[in-house]
Each structure stands twice: as structure tokens, then as C-alpha cells.
Structure 1
Amino acid sequence: MEHIAVLGAGSWGTALALVLSDNGHRVRLWGHRKEHIEEMKNSRVNDQYLPNVPLPENIQMYYQLKLAVEDVKTIVLAVPTKAIREVLQNLQQYLKHPVVIVHVSKGIEPNSLKRISEIIREEMNEKFLQDVVVLSGPSHAEEVSLRQPTTVTSSSDNMKAAEYVQDLFINYYFRVYTNPDVIGVEMGGALKNIIALAAGISDGLGYGDNAKAALITRGLAEIARLGSKMGANPLTFSGLTGIGDLIVTCTSVHSRNWRAGNMLGKGKTLDEVLQSMGMVVEGVRTTKAAYQLAEKYDVKMPITRALYDVLFNGKNSKQAVESLMGRVKTHEMEDLVNIMEGRSTDE
């Protein structure tokens, strides 16, 4: 049994702290807001993010990063993508030996266009970084915290590290698979948030299951198209971090990206949506990054481009959907064959 630091006291960080606690580990849950951590210490509940879920005594709460990471060998990074660089820069001044960093966030950094594992390796001094592992999959924090059956994937360039993280987390309700395709796992987890925003918009506009099924299916084609161009194994997108994560994020009211899209579809502005959510909506930043990646790799991503116009160019949501439906006709299976064979596609 180990001391493990979980950095990020939001819903997902807290849910993963519970999984590790159930497995007998001593968990240090860190959050940057002192008042939030003190409230959790007193109530033994993360009332802001996971109300009514008691936190056991082997989860200790910290707002001092130095104390949270002291002498730990494993750090779970559960902060939003935009905060990762700052947290890593602060983290290194308190480390005395190499650690395994398990990142569980799902995003791509705009402008640099880096995946989170790339950001970690860029920011961390090699003497403090043993391995980087991605833990991702179809997993709502609300359901994990209630011990409902969930499956995820552990991925790393070092499969022994992926298996080590698998052993840390796996239990009777939280099943962990391994996958060596880090690019595919990260890209699937990040890009599905774009399609979830689009699915929410579709529902907000009052469209039915036909429209949502089309968005999910064609969205998966976009994800695979870009991911494959970047070096991912296309088969990864048929797994948990591809179609699995896409389904759960596009169809559940637990999904903050779906909820944000739903409000956009009902006529709220992006600023109004983000203010009312109270939590980070990763799909917004990821849409900008994916739009830039599509330009860089010359990949056709019509759903992403339509959503980019809605979020950042003020395009009407209904007009965006109509423009998607009115595109030049193409052949579905030809597109899929091209993806599998690594050829460029034109949609």
C-alpha cells in the first residue's frame, strides 16, 4: 500500500481518490483553494463537486502542495489542462526523487498543440520524472464515487508503468485495461469533448436521436482521421477511449460538455454558459486546438470547424447544423477505408 498524491480536488480527482482509498492506499488530495480544503476536512464531503459522498479517513486533504507530495512515489494529476503547466512548475521545487505521474485530464493545449503527456515531459526536469501514464476512458465521477461499474484504460510508452497504474486502481467496480497507444488514448479522450458539445447543441435545438447518432458516428470518423494522421493506431478509437468515451460523454447529463452544448443550443452565449457551469468545460479549449491541428495536418473535420464557428465566430447554432447537412456528398465507407489505410480523406 502506498502514499499517493492526487492533485486536483474537483469531481474527478475526488472520485479517483476514493478508488485508491478503497484499494487500501493512503491518499493525499490536494486543492489550491484553502477554504475549499478546510471545508472538506470539516465535513468529510466534497460538497461543491460530489455532494453526499462521504470521504474515508485514509483520504487526507491539503492546500499546501509541499505537504501533499512529500515522499510520494506516484502523483495523479487531475487539474484542468490550462492549469497543468503552472502546477508542474510549482511541483518540482518540492520533489526529491523521481515520481510516476498519472494524468487523468482530457484536453489539448491551444497554440502549442501539445497533448498533456507532451506538456508533462516538457515541463518536468528528467531527474524528477520516472514515467508518464495516461488514465482515460468512459467514466463519470458521479458514478465512480457511487462504486458503479466503470472501465478505463492505462496507457504509457513504458508498459510496466501502465501495468503498475493498472494494479493501483483496479478493483471490483473499477476495471482497468492497458494500451500502449498513448497518442490514440489521449486524442480520443480530448476530441470526444468536441463532439459532446455538438451533441448538446443538437439536443438544445430540439433535434432527435437521428441527429445525435449522426454526430457521434461522424464525430468518431473525425477523431480517427486526425488521430491516425498524428500517429495513433486507428483501432484505439474503437475501444474505451474512443467510441466508449464518445458515447458516455455525448449521451449523459453528467457530461459538462454536453450540458454546455445544450445551453448553447437553447440560445445562451458562450460567456453565459461558462459563467453558469462553475466547472471547466475542456471541450471549448480543445475545439480551438483541434481546429488548429486540422489546419496543421490538412485534415477535414467539418463538425469541429462548425463548432469552432459557433464558439468563436458567433455563428448561429442552427445555421451551423444546416451547413453540415448541406455539404458536398461523399462516400461513407471510402472514408473509413482511407482511415484504416492511413491515406488522407476529403469530406
Structure 2
Amino acid sequence: MTAPVRRVAVLGAGSWGTTFAKVMADAGRDVRLWARRPEVAAAVNERHANPDYLPGIALPALLTATSDPAEALEGADAVVLAVPSQTLRANLASWRDLLPPGCTLVSLAKGVELGTLLRMSEVICEVAGVPAEQVAVVSGPNLAREIAAEEPTATVIACADHDRAVALQHACTTGYFRSYTNTDVVGCELGGAGKNVIALACGIAAGMGFGDNTRASLITRGLAETARLGTALGADPLTFAGLAGLGDLVATCSSPLSRNRTFGEHLGRGESLAQAEAANHGQVAEGVKSCKSICALGDRLGVELPIADAVRRVCHEGLSAAEMGKELISRAPRPESE
């Protein structure tokens, strides 16, 4: 039996990292949040708030913060990695020697690493030198602001070690946050990475003035191509019908709180990548980078990803939103279940 999770380190004090730290503190865990900037840590400790990322949200007293990673990691049963997917490797390399032996490593990042084409759990195993059974991932409809406001939601905790997933499940169950366990890490990670790219496509369509039929079509066909890619990597196809697949996809493609959807809207209105980034307060949506690695993974496996490839060319090759729409609607007819 895996020991209960009592002390947790959350590395990354952005909106989702802070929100997940709040969830675990609300579940009664001793949580220490690492913030890169000392002023963010001070706000959490002194005001029980993170106004830069979660304005108006009160944080629990059981949640403390530090800008010293060694202090955050000391004695942790679980270490939650809440940094962007493309910076995970470099950050984890700097923390590796501080990790408590045997601790569960939990990934909140959703993406595929550029260059290596590794999933986040694979990056963690490689950098930290731990077996896959020691790594868990959290995926599902995870719009941070709604969860921080304690609106009811459900998510998936996936780990090859079922007992470890159950221990984490107990450590983050609250009156507003319900988690389910899954051993299909591949499927949960591909669902989380793919939905960011499809949300960009939905945002582009919204920016062009298209409505619900277009969005529903992109969501459904986007789910189909993400499931094809995941299945080629050994995922269970049923995972994509669950919270980490359809659930996360619907939320991210539909909500104005979704950074990827909002970023796509700017592109759909004809703005450049730089203009969309400026409108997004200097932040690039994860899907802008992930579309390149996901398409490269599809090429490697011989899996056709028409929506992801169209998004990639809009973001990185100058394809216009209008040309993207024309290409997708003009593709050769085929059976839906192909």
C-alpha cells in the first residue's frame, strides 16, 4: 500500500499551480507553494492571496509559500510540477537533487516537448531518473479560475501505479473538486495536449464569426484525431470519451477563460502571432508550441492530424484563417468512423 499524502510541494505559482495548491490545502494537506518571485510568496503568506494570478480569491491558511525550492520540497510526500510544458525539463533539472526519495511526482503540464516529442511524464522520468510508476498526471476540465472559486468540477489522476493514484485522489478530494483514477497515462496526457491545439482552432473560428455548428464540428473531429494519435501510442480509446478527453476538450474549446481559445480568436480576426501574444499580456498559449510537436509526433507515427496541422501552419507558416477554413471544409469526403 502507498503511504498517504500528507505534505505536498507545489512548484509553480501561476493560476493553475496556485489553484491546485488551494485544492490540496482545502483537502487538509500541508501544502507549500514555490513561487519564482519572492513578492508572490509574500502575498500568499501575509495576505493569503495571489493577486497576480487569482485576484479576488482567498487562499487557505494551510497553504504557505516560499521562493526557496529546497524549503518547499523538504519532507514532501508528493511534488506537484506546475510549470509550462516547454520549461519543465530545465526547471526539473535544477530541482532534481532536492527531490525527497520515493516522493510521487505529479505533472500539471499539458503538452508534448519540442524536439524530443516526449510526453510530460516521460520528461519527468528521464530528468528525475524515476520509474514511470512514481509519476502521476492530472488532466480534465481544469479551468483554474472556476476551480479556485470552488465551482464543482471533476478531473482525472492517472498513474501506472493504481495505489499511488488513489493516495493522490484522497489528497485532493474536496466538496467542490472530485477526482477519478485512471492507469492510462498516455491517453490522459495526449488528451490534455491535444485539446490546447483544438481550442486554438475553435478560437480561430470564433474570431472569424462562426458559431456553434462550426465549434461542435471542430471539437468532434478534433477529438477523433487526438484519439487516433493516442491509440497509435498505445492509449485506451475509451479514455478520450472521458474527463481527460472530451471533458477537457469541451471546456477549453468553449470557455472565454481558456487562454488557447482566446489566443485563437485574435488569430481568427487576422492578427499576427505577435499581436495575439501582446493581447494575451505577453503570454503564448501552450497550443501554439504544442501544435508543432504534436504534428511531428503524428508524422512519426503516420497519423493524419488535419486540424492540428492547419493550426500549426496558421501559427508558424503564415496560413490565413480564411485559407485554413477553406482547406478543412474542402477535404475529400470519407466515412466518419475511418
Coarse TM-score class (shorter-chain normalised)? over 0.9
Alpha-carbon distance in structure 2 between the residues aligned to 1:230 and 1:245: 20
Which string of whole-angstrom CA distances, capped at 9 and with x for unpartnered residues, describes residues 227-247 of structure 1? 111111111100001111110
Asked if residue 281 in structure 1 is aligned to residue 285 in structure 2, the reply is: yes
Unaligned runs of 5+ in 1: 336-347
Alpha-carbon distance in structure 1 between the residues aligned to 2:172 and 2:299: 38
Alpha-carbon distance in structure 1 between the residues aligned to 2:225 and 2:61: 45
SS at match of 2:79: strand
SS at match of 1:28: strand
1:96 Cα deviation after fit: 4.6
Matched-pair contact (CA < 8 Å) for 1:99–1:130: no
- Cα distance change on mapping 1:247 and 1:115 into 2, 3 Å: same
Alpha-carbon distance in structure 2 between the residues aligned to 1:124 and 1:178: 23
Unaligned runs of 5+ in 2: none
99, 105, 108: which is aligned to 1:101?
105
Asked if residue 161 in structure 1 is aligned to residue 149 in structure 2, the reply is: no
Alpha-carbon distance in structure 2 between the residues aligned to 1:156 and 1:95: 19
SS at match of 1:175: strand
Which string of whole-angstrom CA distances, capped at 9 and with x for unpartnered residues, describes residues 227-268 of structure 1? 111111111100001111110000000100000001111121
What percent identity do the matched residue pairs reach? 40
Corresponding residue number in structure 1 for 2:93 = 89
- What pairs up with 1:1-347 in 2 under 5 angstroms? 2-126=6-130, 131-278=134-281, 279-333=283-337, 335=338
1:85 Cα deviation after fit: 1.0
Which string of whole-angstrom CA distances, capped at 9 and with x for unpartnered residues, describes residues 178-197 of structure 1? 11111000000110111000
SS at match of 1:46: coil
1:311 Cα deviation after fit: 0.5
Kindly provide the amino acid, as one letter, of the partner of residue 83 in structure 1: T
1:43 Cα deviation after fit: 3.1
SS at match of 2:292: helix
Alpha-carbon distance in structure 1 between the residues aligned to 2:248 and 2:296: 23
Alpha-carbon distance in structure 1 between the residues aligned to 2:165 and 2:61: 28
- Cα distance change on mapping 1:324 and 1:126 into 2, 3 Å: closer
- Cα distance change on mapping 1:280 and 1:163 into 2, 3 Å: farther
SS at match of 1:32: coil
Alpha-carbon distance in structure 2 between the residues aligned to 1:91 and 1:131: 16
Kindly provide the amino acid, as one letter, of the partner of residue 69 in structure 1: L
Matched-pair contact (CA < 8 Å) for 1:98–1:130: no
Query: Alpha carbon RMSD of aligned pairs, Å?
Result: 1.5
Which string of whole-angstrom CA distances, capped at 9 and with x for unpartnered residues, describes residues 40-91 of structure 1? 4343211111100011221111111111101111111111112211221111
Alpha-carbon distance in structure 2 between the residues aligned to 1:72 and 1:178: 21
Matched-pair contact (CA < 8 Å) for 2:34–2:68: yes
Matched-pair contact (CA < 8 Å) for 2:208–2:269: yes
Kindly provide the amino acid, as one letter, of the partner of residue 316 in structure 2: F
Length-normalised TM-score, structure 2: 0.95
Which string of whole-angstrom CA distances, capped at 9 and with x for unpartnered residues, describes residues 88-107 of structure 1? 11112223522111111111
- Cα distance change on mapping 1:206 and 1:92 into 2, 3 Å: same
Corresponding residue number in structure 2 for 1:345 = none
Matched-pair contact (CA < 8 Å) for 1:21–1:58: yes
Length-normalised TM-score, structure 1: 0.93
Matched-pair contact (CA < 8 Å) for 2:77–2:100: no
Alpha-carbon distance in structure 1 between the residues aligned to 2:331 and 2:233: 25
Kindly provide the amino acid, as one letter, of the partner of residue 8 in structure 2: I
Alpha-carbon distance in structure 2 between the residues aligned to 1:238 and 1:318: 30
Aligned residues: 333
Matched-pair contact (CA < 8 Å) for 2:133–2:159: no
